[in-house]
Amino acid sequence: MDEILEILEKDGRLTAQEIAKMVRKPVDTVKKAIKKYEKEGAILKYKAVINKDLIKDAECEVRALIEVNIVPQKDLGFDKIAERIYSFPEVTSCYLISGTYDLLVVVEGKNLHTVSNFVAEKLSCMEHVRGTATHFLLKKYKEDGVILKHKSENKRIAISY
């Protein structure tokens, strides 16, 4: 992968001037490269990784990893079914995987009930879906290469008499 892309992937907040110094290229060359990558779709979006555990007002979101076993469609394979699944607003990511299951779908909802309703009422009953296995995320330690720090828990002091 290009040096500029590697740098932006690690920190999308860096300016073209900062990147130019790092790769020892003129600023205009770096700016043109970035615009080209954006236009071609190599750079899709700039994103902040947020540790929601540290935000007091954050709504309690539930995230689940759902393994989906499907029957591929003739002449279309997995793509058409995957497209139907990732079109749901609850789905944040969708991957074709090897192993026992065919797709790994990441779903977010306000609570366990909304995620389980999605699985029961939208996903499991779809044509070509043979089965699912849902795994709810309980705690995040690292996301997108960033180690997430957690709130320190109140530790009770042992009292002895």
CATH number of the structural domain spanning residue 66: 3.30.70.920
Does residue 157 sit within a domain?
Answer: no
pLDDT in tens, 75-93: 888 999 999 999 999 999 9
Does residue 61 sit within a domain?
Answer: yes
Q: Domains in the chain: how many in total? A: 2
How many residues does this entry show for the chain?
Answer: 161
The pLDDT of residue 77 = 87
Does residue 33 sit within a domain?
Answer: yes
Q: Are residues 75 and 134 in the same domain?
A: yes
Does residue 62 sit within a domain?
Answer: yes
List CB contacts of 95: < 8 A, sequence separation 6 or more.
103, 104, 105
Does residue 96 sit within a domain?
Answer: yes
Instruction: Report whether pLDDT(72) > 70.
Output: yes
pLDDT in tens, 5-24: 999 999 999 999 999 999 99
Q: Within 13 Å of residue 32, how many CA atoms lie on the same side as its CB? A: 5
**Average model confidence (pLDDT) for the chain?**
90
Asked if residues 67 and 129 have their Cβ atoms less than 8 Å apart, the reply is no
Q: Are residues 89 and 67 in the same domain?
A: yes
70 CB burial (10 A radius; 0-12, 13-18, 19+):
buried
Instruction: Report whether pLDDT(39) > 90.
Output: yes
Instruction: Report whether pLDDT(58) > 60.
Output: no
Instruction: Report whether pLDDT(143) > 90.
Output: no
The pLDDT of residue 74 = 85
Instruction: Report whether pLDDT(95) > 80.
Output: yes
Whose CA is closest to 58, among 50, 48, 49, 69?
50
Q: Are residues 16 and 76 in the same domain?
A: no
How far is residue 123's CA from residue 45's CA, in Å, rounded to a whole number? 27
